[in-house]
């Protein structure tokens, strides 16, 4: 195996270890936490808010391909998709498919 592919394997192993670590420590802590306790409720709030923070960041300050679209277009697409979700009895297929098409089209015709 060449140095580069050895290096790629190491990068993957380091990434997966860094990821598994939080999951593993979470299970260790869970053994002592009762689902009716206050600390469980607090962690539950934090889990939802950390996810919301992550998702909001993906839309407002994206990395990669999304960064090449304008923020007002991204926000518009997200809002329209959520409205679509609420008006289709919480169907997730329509808003997700529509969002990809909307963004691709708007990004072509509205960007300078």
Partner 1 sequence: MINSKYFFQGFKSIKGLDSPALALGASFIAIGALLKNIGFNLGQSIFSTFLTYALPGSLVMAESFLIGASLINIFLAVWLVNIRLYPMTVSLMPLLLHKSQPRWKYYLSCHFIAVSAWLIMKSNYQSIEKKHRIDFWIGIGTGTWSVAIVSTIIGFLASDYLNKDMMIGLAIVNPVYFTCMMVGAMKSLQISLSIILGAILGPAFFFISPEWSILYGGVSAGTIAYYVGEFK
Is residue 51 at the binding interface for partner 1, with CB under 8 A as the rule?
Answer: yes
End-to-end CA distance of the chain: 46
Is residue 72 at the binding interface for partner 1, with CB under 8 A as the rule?
Answer: no
Judged by beta carbon, residue 18 or residue 112, the one nearer partner 1 is 18
- The length of the chain is 112
| CB neighbourhood size of 111 (10 A) | 10
Helix/strand/coil for 31: coil
- Provide the mask over 4-33, with x wherever binding to partner 1 is found by CB under 8 A and - wherever it is not: xx--xxxxxxxxxxxxxxxxxxxx-xxx-x
Residues from 90 through 109 that contact partner 1 (CB under 8 A): 90-93, 95-97, 99-101, 103-104, 107-108
Q: How far is the CB of 72 from partner 1 (least distance, A)?
A: 14
Count CA atoms closer than 13 A to 66's CA, side-chain side.
17
């Amino acid at each position: 195996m060449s140095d580069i592919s050895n290096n790629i394997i190491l990068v993957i192993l380091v990434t997966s270890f860094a990821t598994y670590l939080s999951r593993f420590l979470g299970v260790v802590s869970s053994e002592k936490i009762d689902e009716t306790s206050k600390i469980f409720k607090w962690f539950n709030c934090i889990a939802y808010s950390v996810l919301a923070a992550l998702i909001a960041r993906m839309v407002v300050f994206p990395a990669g391909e999304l960064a090449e679209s304008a923020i007002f277009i991204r926000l518009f697409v997200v809002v329209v998709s959520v409205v679509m979700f609420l008006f289709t009895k919480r169907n997730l297929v329509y808003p997700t498919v529509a969002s990809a098409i909307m963004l691709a089209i708007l990004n072509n015709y509205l960007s300078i």
